[in-house]
C-alpha cells in the first residue's frame, strides 16, 4: 500500500509554506472523512444540475483516490478475536 502523509500549509504563493506533517493513520482517516463529507454537502446543497454532476464526479474521483491512499480500518483482526 502506498504511504500517504498529511501536511498543514500556510497559503503563500503557488505552493504554500509547510507548517507540520503527519503520517498518523487516525489523522489521515479523519481528514478523509471530513473531505468526503464536505463534497457530499456540496452535492446536496447545489441547485444547479450541471454543478451537481461535476461535484458528483469529483466526489467519486476523490473517494477512489483516498480509498487507495487511506484505507478504512482493518476489522478482520477484531472479528477473529
What are the domain boundaries of the chain?
A: 24-71
pLDDT at 75: 53
CA-based nearest residue to 19, from 4, 33, 34, 9: 9
pLDDT at 80: 52
pLDDT in tens, 21-71: 999 999 999 999 999 999 999 999 999 999 999 999 999 999 999 999 998
pLDDT at 68: 92
CA-based R_g, the chain, Å: 16
CA 48 to chain centre: 24
Helices (H), 46-75: 49-69
Contact by Cβ (8 Å): 58, 42: no
Rounded to an integer, what distance in angstroms lies between the CA atom of residue 7 and that of residue 28? 10
Model pTM score = 0.79
Contact by Cβ (8 Å): 37, 24: no
pLDDT at 56: 97
Amino acid at each position: 500500500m502506498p504511504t500517504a502523509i498529511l501536511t498543514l500549509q500556510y497559503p503563500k504563493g503557488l505552493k504554500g509554506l509547510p507548517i507540520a506533517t503527519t503520517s498518523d493513520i487516525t489523522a489521515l482517516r479523519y481528514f478523509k472523512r471530513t473531505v468526503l463529507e464536505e463534497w457530499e454537502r456540496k452535492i446536496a446543497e447545489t441547485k444547479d444540475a450541471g454543478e451537481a454532476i461535476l461535484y458528483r464526479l469529483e466526489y467519486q474521483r476523490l473517494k477512489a483516490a483516498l480509498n487507495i491512499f487511506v484505507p478504512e480500518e482493518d476489522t478482520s483482526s477484531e472479528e477473529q478475536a
